[in-house]
Amino acid sequence: MSPVWHSSAQQDRAVLALLGAKRGGYFIDLTASAPVKDSNTLALERDYGWGGLCLEPRPYFQQRLTSTRSCTVVGVGVAKVEGTVPLTLERPFGARSPYSALENAVVAGREGEVARVLERLEAADYERESTVRAVTFAHLFRAFAVPRHIDYLSLNADGAEDDLMATFPFETHTVSIVSVQRPSSQLMQLFRAQQYVYLCDCGLAGNMLFVHRNVSAMGAINGTTAIGRVCHEWRRNVRIAFPLRRPHSKTHEHGNR
């Protein structure tokens, strides 16, 4: 039976292809959000026996993740200094936040759905401010015995990626593949400094993959030719999933950016 993919832009499928359909891998999903819809890690966990951490500070999504997933659900934020940090809580919009629903409708070109989401956003207050406990990556990794080699980091922190990754313990932990949407120049500079190279993007909504230059994943995907093939397939699969949206950016092989 063919796997069922759940990522919004086929990231799960691309990551698994790059790692040679690896079984028993380890991921960190930051932040995990909904347990099924648009999840970058569910297929890895369910169909390939992966484990890992699903970091999700919002109570609504914590509850759904705990009842649905087998990953370790951690209901804290990540910060440079431990303490409490502000948190915007969104009222659920079906299985998604209203902003996720709006983005998905725009990406897919569903104009009617876009209008409906906008109307509902205007008619109600979907946000309230709260706080959440935050810990450092180092604390988190010690507490949950995170392996020194992490196969996949799904990074989606609603614009806080720069601050979060500035505190990542690169000196003790290595990640094979990182997926992130629209990384800032600051984040890309940090990746380069830590020997992570841009692999390719799917041409949709700025979703990109980065890989560590020296990890075993590079051997598992048999070098540049296989990388190019996987990246080509990633873009093709996204075009099939979103036929109304034509990818616009070029694919680059690793090391070119």
Among 90-99, 223-232, 241-250, name the most confident range.
223-232
Which residue(s) pair with 55 in the sheet? 30, 74
pLDDT digits (tens, 9 = 90+) for 31-52: 898 899 889 999 999 999 999 9
pLDDT digits (tens, 9 = 90+) for 101-113: 666 777 677 777 7
Which of 63-72, 85-94, 125-134 has the least mean pLDDT? 85-94
E strands present in 1-115:
26-30, 51-55, 72-74, 77-78, 83-90
Tokens of 156: 């989606």
| Whole-number Å distance between alpha carbons of 256 and 247 | 19
Does the pTM surpass 0.95? The reply is no
User: What are the residue ranges spanned by the domains of the chain?
Assistant: 11-83+136-241
- Whether the per-residue pLDDT at 155 is higher than 90: the answer is yes
Q: Which is more confident, 164 or 205?
A: 164
pLDDT attached to residue 193: 96
Q: Which of 13, 29, 100 is nearest to 5 (CA)?
A: 13
Cβ–Cβ under 8 Å, residues 148 and 173: yes
Q: Which CATH superfamily is domain 11-83+136-241 in?
A: Vaccinia Virus protein VP39 (3.40.50.150)
The four Cα atoms 103, 127, 40, 43 give a dihedral, to 10 degrees, of -110
